[in-house]
Each structure stands twice: as structure tokens, then as C-alpha cells.
Structure 1
Amino acid sequence: MAPAGLLAVCGLLCAWAVAEQPCSLDHQGWADCSEKSLLHAPSSLPRNITGLDLSFNSLVVPQRGTLLMHFPSLHSLNLSSNALRTLHPAVFSNLRELSLLDLSSCSITYLHTDAFKGLKNLQTLLLRNNSLQELEVPLFLPLRSLLHLDLQNNALMSVDTLTLQLMEAIPWVKLYGNPWVCDCAIYPLQQWLKHRQAMRVTCVSPSELQGQDITTLDSWEMGCQKSQRFPRDVSPAQQTTATNNTTAPPLGKGGRSWPYLVGFLVAAISISILVALVAKCKLCHKNFASYRHRPLPETSSIGGSPLEEGTGWDRGSSGWGDSENPHISSVTGLHAEDDDGFIEDNYIQPSEQLPEEEERESHISI
């Protein structure tokens, strides 16, 4: 140790001996104030101490401000076995050099999300033997240098996915001794433990799984519908998302399939209406086309057709119709011949033809 350091330690020891404080101070700057029934840290302690043991006391944690505002150089702080119960925001914010914080057996039930604000150099956090029931995600955000996290023997029953993702950056995490409920919600923790190869963590409930290692359980034993296998490079967050989507649908909302059902029904009804309209249009068009046909003019057997009257008038004329309009006369002549043949074939009865034939034969014989 450098001469300047020796002089500083000797000065601390001399000042401590003169003050006759209840705490003991060693040559490395560690102050031992355990089991002294203290309500507050002694303000007479040297400000440049690097270690402080305040375990087994009755410390009162302020709701506002810092707990140890006079010791900014602390690297190690032991507050175990104090009835702290709740840690308020920024209670350690002035201890920027702190690397070890022991909060074991403090009956802590709640940690504010900003309780560890300012502890950017903290490497070891001991929270074992408390009554923590949940861990909120923002709690670990300021702890960028954390290497050891001890959460043994708390009241944790499950851990959410985002907290597990943040704890992925912590090399050593101890979770043994919590009353883990081994249902389908524990699946993310199971995959996280398998990936980390952490120490043995056992189930507390349900009773049929009590004492069993979480990592050895199958999906059907945890109440999941089916087991899922993920590649090694899939993160716990992605695994949990896929698991929740397939095995844990939200209750009471009926899923999200009803919009698709409504859309299918609307589309089916629209198509049916469209087909009916098309069929109706075709039927109307067909009826309209049938009504456009005009009936043929009926020819009277007594008066004759107008064409026949026209031809008769042409024949009775003195050739004026042939010279003036030869086409009309030729057409009328053609129709007249057809009419004569039609009359001979259809209107001359056999009884009328017999006298004519006999008369012709009589003439021939003469």
C-alpha cells in the first residue's frame, strides 16, 4: 500500500479511537456496525469508508431522499436482517460506486421500480429470504452492470417474459425456494431455465407436481394443450409469444375470429343478391324481346289478300303497269301463278274434276 494510503488509514483509526464510536473500523476502510440496535447510520463515521455493515439493526428507511447520504464512496453495503419492508424511489441514488448490496432477510414485500436508481455499477444484488411476489420490468433497467442476482426463498409464483428477457443479461441468477406454480404460464420460465442450465428449481403446486424439477416437466403435465419445440436461437420472448398465441387464448372474448365470420356472411349474402339480380335482369330481357314480335297479317278467304287484288288490277289494265313498273308486274305475275297452283291443288275437289275429264275423253273420241 502506498504511504499516502497508510497515512489515511492511520488517520481514520486514530479519529475512530478518539470518538469512541460503537462501530469497529478495520484498516481496509470497512466499518462494522452490526447488532447495535441502530435506527440510522452513525453520522460520525468517516465519509471515505468503502464498506459498511449495518445488519441486524432497526434501520428506518426514509420515504424520500437517500438512506446513506454521507457515504458516497461505499463499494459494499450490508443491510440484511433489517425490517425494511418497502424500498422507496432513489433510496440508494447517491451510492454511485456501490458494487455489492445485501438486502437479505429484510421482510421486503414491495420494491419500487426506481428503488435501484443510480446504481449503475452494482454487480451483486442479494434479495433472498424476503416476501417478494412479483418483479416489475423497470426494476432492473438501471442495473446495467449486474452479474449476480439472488432471489431465493421469496414468494415468486411466476415471472413474466420481459423480466426473463432482462435477466438474460445477468450471468448468475438464483431462483430456488419460491412457490412456483407449475401450470402453462410457467412454460417461459421452463425454457429459460433449460437455456441457462441454472440450478434445480422445483414446483410447489399443484400437489401432484410438488417437488418436481420444472425443467423435466412435459407440456401436458403443466396443462398446456400441446408441446412446442423451438430452435436454440429463438429468444424466450419469441417462445412465450408463440406459446400464448397457441395455448393460452384470452378468456371471455371469444377470440378474434368473429370479424372473419361476419365478413364471410356479408360476402355470401352480397353474392346471392347479385346472382338474383342478374337472373332477374335476364328474365326481364327475355320477356321484353318476346313482346317485340308482331303477329303476321291474317289473309281472308273471302276478300283475298291485298297482293291478289293488286295483281288483278294490273291484269285488268292495258299494259300501263308493265311499261311503267315492270318489276312490280313480274312480281305480281309470279304470285298469281303461285296462287293459281295453290288453288288447283287445294281447292278443286275430286267431284268437280270428274265431269271435266269425261268431257275431254268424249271430245277425243269424236
Structure 2
Amino acid sequence: MKTISITILFWLLSILLLSDESQTSKIEVTYNYTAKNYTLIPENINKDVTILDLSYNQITLNITDTRVLQTYFLLTELYLIENNVIILHNNSFGKLSNLEILNICRNSIHIIQHNAFIGLNKLKQLHLCQNKILQLNSDIFIPLKNLILLNLQGNLISYFDVPQLFHLEFIILYGNPWNCSCSLLSLQNWLNTSNVTLENENITMCSYPDILNRYNIKMVPYEANCYSKFPSPITADLYHFQSVRDSTFNSSLNNLTSNSEHESHGKSWTLLIGVVVTVLVTSLLISIAIKCPVWYNFLLSYNHHRLEEHEAETYEDSFTGNPSSPSQIQDTNSEETTVIFEQLHSFVVDDDGFIEDKYIDTHELHEEN
């Protein structure tokens, strides 16, 4: 019995010691720098800070602020209410793995990059109220595995695609211009089928179309054709697979068709250009032949050539009708015979066939006769 009582005492003491250690490890270190007109997050804060309130300043959460925030890795709560934050950049809170509450309400945020909340594995509350957010990509919330409350009140959001594996307990959506057409049906189904609680449900109203502005987004009556546009969760994966398969087949078929059409169009254009060039060249040649007969006349008239010496002698003999003596031939050969033709006209129609030789002595011809 003594041994049992001793063991029980030791067990109780160990439990007390562990509880004391856990309480000491959860000591809150709070720094309040509200309304200090800061433009940057201060760097001289104790690195053991757990709660940091920088509300009502001029902080933009730029690259420098992001670098400083990485050093406060013990933060569990961060408040940036009413600052000048416009964009939430990628990896803005990358090393704040202990952060549980992030409040960035009353800024001018209109862009949230895809990996803005990466690293916030323990985040439970995210407040983005009263900003200028037009739409939200559902993938940005995927890293927030432990998120319980999402506050989107007072933005410019008209529709919201619920991300997969989204296990919220509370969501605040009022103050947005909700478009209650068929595109909001998925959000309504999620609100009605999940365990999430829509805060201020009675004032979370539709803005468009006008005939539905008296309904809250959770109670909008949809027509049957809206339900046909959204597949059930059971068949969603099958529908997605079929759509991908059909789109792949159609794209490949379209590529083949477009390629064949391009090839046929290319060949027809080549043939047409060849025919046009051939017709133009032929027409040009015909017009040159008709409009320029001078070349033709020149070719016809160009029939003479310079006579050689033996050809000149033969021609003289045939012209006089009497063969010359050898002495005469020698006398003739002693002198250089030159035959000159003068072309008076390029082409004469009534030519008698005789050529006038200026070197023929007309006096000798009369004596011989």
C-alpha cells in the first residue's frame, strides 16, 4: 500500500510540474503600437513578442515589412487594422507558423496573391473585412488547414467559390453586393449542407437581380435549370474526367482539321498565283510583239554582210557578163577591193534585187557595149 501511495504522489507532482511549465511557456508578451503614425513595422521590438497590435498607422506591408515580420516567429496574434495595405504579397507571413489570429480589416486590399497565406498552418481566425476585394481565388485558403472563422464583411465580392476541404465553423459575408444568379448556387449548397454558421444571416442579402434582393443568400429559390448546370458531388470527378477527355479529343480533332484546311488553302493559293503570273507574262509578250514591230522589221532587213574578195570578183564577173583576162584579174587583185553598202531604208517593199556599186566604172561599160 505504501508503494502505491508513493507512486500516486509522484504522479500528482509530475502533473503539477508539467502544468506549470505549460503555463510558463504560454506567457503572453504584448506590444501595442497603435496610432503611432508608423509607415514601417518597427524592428526594435522584443523577439519574444506574441501579440502585436499595429493598428491605425500608415503601414503598407511591403517587402521590408515582410522581412521584419519573419523575425517575430513567436507571434500568435497580429493586428493591422486601418493601415495602408493594398496588396497581400506571396509569402507575407511565411515564418509565422504560430499565428492564430490575423486581422487586416479597414485597409484598401484589392489583390491577394496566390501564396499570400502560405505558412499559416495554425491560423484560426482571418479577418479581411471592409477592404476592396472584388473576387477571391479559392486556392488561397488551401494552406489554412485549421481556419475556423473567415470574415469577408464589407467588400465588393459578388460571388464566392468555396474551396475544397474547407472546414469553417463561422463565416461573415454581409455587406457585399452578392449576385444571386445560378453562379451562387454552389455557395448556397455549401452553406446549407455543411456545419458552417453564417453570421448575420438575416442581413446577408442579394443585390442582383432586383427581383431577389429581398432574399438572403442562404434562402434564394433557384429554378430547376440552375441545378442542371452544377453536377452533384458524387459525379463531379467523373464529369471533370469526361470534360477533360472530350476537350482533349476535340482539341486534337480541331488541330487536324485546321492543319488540313491550312494545307489545302496553301496549295490553292500557290496554284492561283502561278496561273496569274503565267497570264501576265504571256500578255506582256503579246503586247510587246504587237506594239513594237520595229524589232521585227530590223530582223527582216538585216540580211547583208561584208563581201570577201573572192566573192566580190565572182560578183563582178557575173554582172559584166564577160569573163576577164588573167591580166585584168591580176590588175584587179592588185588593188584593194572595197565594197560599201549603204542602207537608205531599213525595209523597202519594192526592191528590184540589184545593188548599186559605186566602184563600177560606167565609162568602161559604155566602151565594152
Aligned equivalents of 2:52, 2:67: Cα separation in 1: 15
Contact 2:29/2:49 (<8 A) preserved: yes
Match of 2:174 in 1: 176
Counterpart selection for 2:186 from 170, 185, 188: 188
The answer to whether the 8 A contact 1:67-1:92 is kept is no
For the residue of structure 1 that corresponds to 2:205, the secondary structure is: coil
Which residue of the partner structure matches residue 50 of structure 1? 50
Structure 1's 77 and 209: CA in aligned 2 closer, same or farther, altered over 3 A?
same
Contact 1:106-1:129 at 8 Å conserved across structures: yes
Alignment-derived partner of residue 59 in structure 1? 59
Q: Deviations over 1:210-267 (max 9, x none)?
A: 13122322223xxx63656999xx649949x79xx9xxxxxxx9xx9xx9xxxxxxxx
Q: Deviations over 1:175-227 (max 9, x none)?
A: 2221111111111112112223643231011122213122322223xxx6365
For residues 159 and 236 of structure 1, the distance between their equivalents in structure 2, rounded to whole angstroms, comes to 21
Instruction: Name the SS for the 1:37 alignment partner.
Output: coil
Shift of 1:5: 8.8
* Number of residue equivalences: 219
Partner in structure 1 of residue 106 of structure 2: 105
SS at match of 2:78: strand
Q: Counterpart amino acid of 2:159? A: S
Residue type at the aligned position of 1:30: T
Is the 1:77–1:101 contact (alpha carbons within 8 Å) kept by the matching residues of 2? yes
Q: Which residue of 2 aligns with 1:39?
A: 39
Cα–Cα, structure 1 residues 127 and 236, in superposed 2: closer, same or farther, change >3 Å? farther
The equivalences for 1:52-201 within 5 A come to 52-63=52-63, 65-160=66-161, 163-167=162-166, 169-196=167-194, 198-199=197-198, 200=201, 201=204
| Residue from 212, 216, 224 that aligns with 2:215 | 212
What CA distance in whole angstroms lies between the structure 2 residues aligned with 1:226 and 1:4? 54
| Cα distance, 1:94 vs structure 2 | 1.8
How large is the Cα RMSD of the aligned pairs?
Answer: 3.5
CA distance in 2, matches of 1:43, 1:141: 30
Q: Structure 1 residue 60: deviation in Å?
A: 2.9
After superposition, residues 319-358 of structure 1 pair within 5 angstroms as none
Identity within the alignment, %? 27
- What SS is found at the alignment partner of 2:49? coil
Structure 1 unaligned regions, length at least 5: 10-26, 246-252, 260-366
CA distance in 1, matches of 2:213, 2:68: 41
Deviation, 1:97, is 1.1
**TM-score w.r.t. structure 1 length?**
0.53
- Contact kept, 8 Å, 1:66 with 1:94, in 2: the verdict is no
> Once the 2 structures are TM-superposed, how far is the Cα of residue 157 of structure 1 from its aligned partner?
0.7
Q: Give the Cα–Cα distance (whole angstroms) in 2 for the partners of residues 114 and 67 of structure 1.
A: 18
Deviation at 1:28, TM superposition (A): 3.5
Task: Assess, with a 3 A threshold, how the Cα gap between structure 1 residues 91 and 164 changes in structure 2: closer, same or farther.
Answer: closer
Aligned equivalents of 1:4 and 1:96: distance in 2?
19
Equivalent residue number for residue 258 of structure 2: none
More displaced stretch, 58-67 vs 96-105: 58-67
Distance 1:227 1:30, change over 3 A: same
* Displacement after TM superposition at 1:172 (Å): 1.7
The answer for unaligned runs of 5 or more in structure 2 is 1-18, 254-369
| Whole-Å separation in 1 of the counterparts to 2:57 and 2:136 | 26
Would the aligned equivalents of 2:180 and 2:217 in 1 still touch at CA under 8 Å? yes
Q: 1:166 to 1:158 in 2, by over 3 A?
A: farther
Supply the distance in 2 between the matched residues of 1:4 and 1:217 (Cα, whole angstroms). Answer: 49
TM-score of the superposition, structure 2-length normalised?
0.52
